[in-house]
Structure 1
């Protein structure tokens, strides 16, 4: 029984690692409401691209504000997806074991 449980844990850990790798290739986009700034981020929380409209380059303060707000929203979106995917994989492998948040 203990051996089966260890095999299940190892199999689930492998699936979690595979999911983390897959999430590196999942792109999410976030932008300002006026589309002057667009951020592309992977579900593994890596910034991939930042697009800035020319008119934003004329207003440093607005650009800085937009960057902070939009980057934070993009990171939160990626974080939510990352955690949901990892939790789903971990739960599939071990539905009756408490403490699954260790795989986040």
Structure 2
């Protein structure tokens, strides 16, 4: 049924698990940058999906327009989170080769 038998399959699974853990560590150390409002709001998000920084261009800070500023920050953070998800998926794809995702494994 399995080339090389069940023992070989288990070795392959263990190897993949190790690679996945290594990839998760690499991903955690990576960062993505996203912007909103034509670059006036910039965020950096880690591979762990943590917001690392927010940078606001001086011309965007207007006390009379705080709602727009808040919306831009939310948009930039959401874009950063989306990019971090894509980055993680690409890294896992390198290991799994397109295998369907197995909950609890990867």
- Pairwise TM-score range, normalised by the shorter structure: 0.7 to 0.9
The gaps in structure 2 that reach 5 residues or longer are none
Q: Which protein is bigger by CA-based radius of gyration? A: 2
Q: Is 1:16 equivalent to 2:20 in the alignment?
A: yes
Q: Over residues 74-100 of structure 1, what are the superposed CA-to-partner deviations in whole Å (9 max), with x where a residue is unaligned?
A: 111110111121122122xxx7xx5x3
Partner of 1:82: 88
SS of structure 2 residue aligned to 1:101: coil
- Work out the number of aligned pairs and report it: 98
Alpha carbon RMSD of aligned pairs, Å? 1.8
The gaps in structure 1 that reach 5 residues or longer are none
Partner of 1:73: 79
Runs of 4+, deviation exceeding 6 Å? none
TM-score scaled by length of structure 2: 0.80
Q: Over residues 17-48 of structure 1, what are the superposed CA-to-partner deviations in whole Å (9 max), with x where a residue is unaligned?
A: 11011011111111124322100112332211
